[in-house]
């Protein structure tokens, strides 16, 4: 799924201008990093694309959806095509790992057998085979992060938005996750990852968008 | 369709499972709903009996004409005949002082000696039963007024009066029951709405997350709707149990009382269709209460 942002500005209700006239395009199947100093507006940008926050100005197109004018009853259907990994892993604390990862498939009305085989496969990919029955509070932060990665990609969305997905992982695991994202990208998934782990970003040789004070200033 | 059904069943079982995991709170909520429903249900059941008791009374509406003391037998009988000819009268039953006296004697167990001593104080009486379509209060009054015109009639006693009062009371009780039902239905709606609202508060994170990954409002609503309906069903069952228990406890004393009046009166609990109505109303309230609670959460 491609993303197009034109003259997008976001001012938070408290008056703070988090994004100021942002323009860029991500073509379908592209893999790009979004970087910038803390507070530059990376998370804000991802939230605007997913329809979690709304722009005050400009236009955001995601696939066939115009997010800026999207009616709230259509938002669920946009979200189903986007895998979202938020900066803070937001898992259901009263459900085991298996249920957390299965949730998008449950929402998409998949059969239990389908769910079971896909969840098991995902667990292997994020190296959590033996934690299926654990509750999130029994996991390390890095493990929780991997659960939220598995949850984001289990439904093979056409776009993945990830906010610091490797923030709490050691370099080896971080590289493994990047490799996992790469595999999905090879299958055609568009990917936009916000990160300030420059070492990791430079390993990957992908397009890099840099946000400075709410505007995209370098691209490439 | 099959899959949709599977999820419905699963969501229902999930909701049930959650409720069972906190049995005390669930039982409390269901009991409150049950008591709130049992009250109007009891009134309805009781009133149904009142109607049964009341019905035969309406059939036996009678006027008793007491004639003046100096009325002769011939005059009394001809008056009776004259009254019988009226279209608004069904039957007349003249009772001579002697006949009336005999009956009185029997009822009070007096012996001949006393009665001879006192003499017979009774006048001629004529018991008038109005025609079937002349039994409402207004026409009865009219009949009574026109019978009073006869010279030899001393006074008229309307047996209807207390029956009339009874009917008024029962009508009032019906009204009260209806009003009470509406009030308590509103209470049940509020109880369920409140429980579900606190459940949605409890699952706020979950709701947000499901919205984030593309869950529709219908998907989010489903388990809460089932919870509401389960509350309603459980409340109806508890209400039925309470009514049944109540009837069971009262059965004996009431039957004893009835036997004193030579009646084979029986106390009945709720019948099947009444229970089904209760179940339907209660689960409907559960559905509505939870729907409103979740709608508020989703719009906020
Ligand atoms: N809900 C909010 N209300 C007001 N201001 C906000 C809100 N969320 C973010 N901001 C502000 O917007 C700016 C950009 O925030 P954002 O979270 O997008 O930064 P970021 O680039 O993701 O930073 P980090 O690397 O630390 O995650 C910050 O200065 C922040 O204070
Ligand atoms: Mg951020």
pLDDT at A88 over 90: no
Across residues B71-90, what is the average pLDDT? 87
Inter-chain CB proximity B205 and A93 less than 8 Å: yes
One-letter-per-residue 3-state SS of chain B: CHHHHHHHHHHHHHHHHHHHHCHHHHHHHHHHHHHHHHHHHHHHHHHHHHHHHHHHHHHCCCEEEEECCCCCHHHHHHHHHHHHCCCCEEEEEEECHHHHHHHHHHHHCCCHHHHHHHCCCCCCEEEEEECHHHCCHHHHHHHHHHHHCCCCEEEEEECHHHHHHHHHHHHHHHHHHHHHHHHHHHHHHHHHHHHHHHHHHHCHHHHHHHHHCCCCHHHHHHHHHHHHHHHHHHHHHHHHHHHHHHHHHHHHHHHHHHHHCCCCCCCCCCCHHHHHHHHHHHHHHHHHHHHHHHHHHHHC
What is the position in ligand 1's atom list of the atom closest to the CA of A41?
18
The CB of A38 under 6 Å from ligand 1? The reply is yes
Inter-chain CB proximity A84 and B213 less than 8 Å: yes
Confidence of residue B51 (pLDDT cuts 50, 70, 90): low
Cα of B48 vs its chain's centroid, Å: 4
CB neighbours (10 Å) of residue A28? Answer: 13
Considering every ligand atom, which ligand is closest to the CA of A196? Answer: 1
Residues A80 and A159 sit within 8 Å (Cβ to Cβ): no
Across residues A14-31, what is the average pLDDT? 91
Of B7, B213, B217, which is closest to A79 when you measure between CB atoms?
B213
pLDDT in tens, B95-110: 888 888 887 777 777 6
Most confident among A87-91, A107-111, B51-55, B179-183 (mean pLDDT): B179-183
- Give, as one character, the DSSP assignment of residue A7: E
Distance from CA of A218 to the nearest CA of B (A): 30
Selected residue with higher pLDDT from B81 and B162:
B81
Site to probe by mutation for ligand 1, drawn from A15, A16, A22, A161 as the one with most ligand atoms within 8 Å of Cβ, is A16
Separation of alpha carbons B150 and A159, rounded Å:
103
Kindly list the residues from chain A whose CB atom is less than 8 angstroms away from the CB atom of residue B4: 109
Model pLDDT, residue B244: 92
B74: exposed, middle or buried (Cβ count in 10 Å: 0-12, 13-18, 19+): exposed
Selected residue with higher pLDDT from B13 and A29:
A29
Separation of alpha carbons A98 and A119, rounded Å:
7
Distance from CA of A203 to the nearest CA of B (A): 30
Residues A124 and A176 sit within 8 Å (Cβ to Cβ): no
Separation of alpha carbons B159 and B61, rounded Å:
6
Inter-chain CB proximity A111 and B3 less than 8 Å: yes
Tell me the torsion sign for CA atoms A103, A109, A110, A112: positive
The CB of A16 under 6 Å from ligand 1? The reply is yes
Kindly list the residues from chain B whose CB atom is less than 8 angstroms away from the CB atom of residue A76: 211, 214-217
Separation of alpha carbons A220 and B5, rounded Å:
50
pTM of the model as a whole: 0.72
CATH node for B61-158? 3.30.70.3040
Separation of alpha carbons B66 and B72, rounded Å:
13
Inter-chain CB proximity A107 and B212 less than 8 Å: no
Q: Give the list of residues 6+ apart from residue B258 with CB closer than 8 angstroms, or none.
A: B264, B265, B266
Report the chain A residue with the minimal C-alpha distance to residue B213: A79
Across residues B9-37, what is the average pLDDT? 79
Separation of alpha carbons B85 and A153, rounded Å:
97
Inter-chain CB proximity A77 and B214 less than 8 Å: yes
Residues of chain B with CATH 3.30.70.3040: 61-158
Across residues A36-44, what is the average pLDDT? 90
Q: What percent of chain A has pLDDT over 90?
A: 50
């Amino acid at each position: 799924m491609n993303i197009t942002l034109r003259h997008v500005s976001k001012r938070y209700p408290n008056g703070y201008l988090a994004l100021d006239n942002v323009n860029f395009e991500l073509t379908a199947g592209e893999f790009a990093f979004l970087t910038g100093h803390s507070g530059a507006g990376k998370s804000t940008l991802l939230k605007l694309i997913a329809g979690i926050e709304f722009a005050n100005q400009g236009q955001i197109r995601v696939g066939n959806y115009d997010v800026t004018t999207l009616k709230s009853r259509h938002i669920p259907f946009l979200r189903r095509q986007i895998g979202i990994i938020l900066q803070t892993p937001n898992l259901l604390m009263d459900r085991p790992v298996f249920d957390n990862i299965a949730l998008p498939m449950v929402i998409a009305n998949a059969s239990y057998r389908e769910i079971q085989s896909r969840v098991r496969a995902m667990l292997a990919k994020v190296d959590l085979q033996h934690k299926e029955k654990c509750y999130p509070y029994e996991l390390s932060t890095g493990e929780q992060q991997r659960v939220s990665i598995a949850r984001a990609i289990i439904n093979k969305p056409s776009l993945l938005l990830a906010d610091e997905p490797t923030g709490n992982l050691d370099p080896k695991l971080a590289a493994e996750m990047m490799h996992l994202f790469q595999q999905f990208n090879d299958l055609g998934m568009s990917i936009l990852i916000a990160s300030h782990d420059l070492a990791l970003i430079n390993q990957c040789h992908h397009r890099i968008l840099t946000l400075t004070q709410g505007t995209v200033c370098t691209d490439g | 369709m099959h899959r949709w059904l599977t999820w419905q069943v699963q969501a229902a079982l999930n909701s049930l499972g959650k409720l069972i995991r906190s049995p005390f709170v669930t039982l409390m909520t269901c009991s409150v709903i049950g008591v709130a429903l049992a009250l109007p249900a009891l009134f309805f059941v009781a009133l149904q009996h009142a109607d049964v008791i009341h019905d035969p009374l309406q059939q036996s509406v009678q006027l008793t004409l007491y004639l003046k003391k100096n009325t002769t037998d011939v005059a009394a009988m001809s008056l009776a005949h004259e009254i019988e000819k009226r279209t608004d009268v069904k039957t007349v039953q003249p009772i001579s002082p002697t006949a009336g006296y005999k009956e009185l004697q029997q009822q009070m167990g007096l012996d001949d000696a006393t009665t001879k001593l006192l003499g017979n104080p009774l006048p001629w009486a004529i018991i008038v039963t109005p025609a079937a379509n002349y039994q409402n209060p207004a026409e009865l009054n009219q009949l009574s007024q026109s019978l009073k015109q006869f010279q030899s009639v001393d006074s008229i006693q309307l047996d209807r009066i207390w029956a009339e009062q009874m009917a008024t009371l029962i009508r009032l009780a019906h009204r009260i029951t209806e009003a009470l039902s509406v009030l308590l239905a509103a209470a049940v709606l509020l109880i369920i709405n409140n429980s579900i609202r606190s459940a949605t508060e409890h699952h706020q994170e979950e709701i947000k997350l499901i919205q984030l990954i593309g869950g529709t409002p219908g998907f989010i609503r489903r388990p809460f709707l089932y919870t509401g309906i389960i509350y309603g069903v459980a409340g109806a069952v508890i209400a039925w149990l309470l009514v049944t228990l109540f009837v069971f406890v009262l059965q004996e004393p009431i039957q004893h009382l009835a036997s004193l009046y030579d009646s084979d009166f029986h106390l009945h609990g709720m019948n099947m269709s009444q229970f089904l109505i209760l179940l339907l109303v209660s689960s409907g309230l559960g559905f509505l209460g939870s729907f409103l609670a979740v709608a508020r959460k989703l719009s906020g």
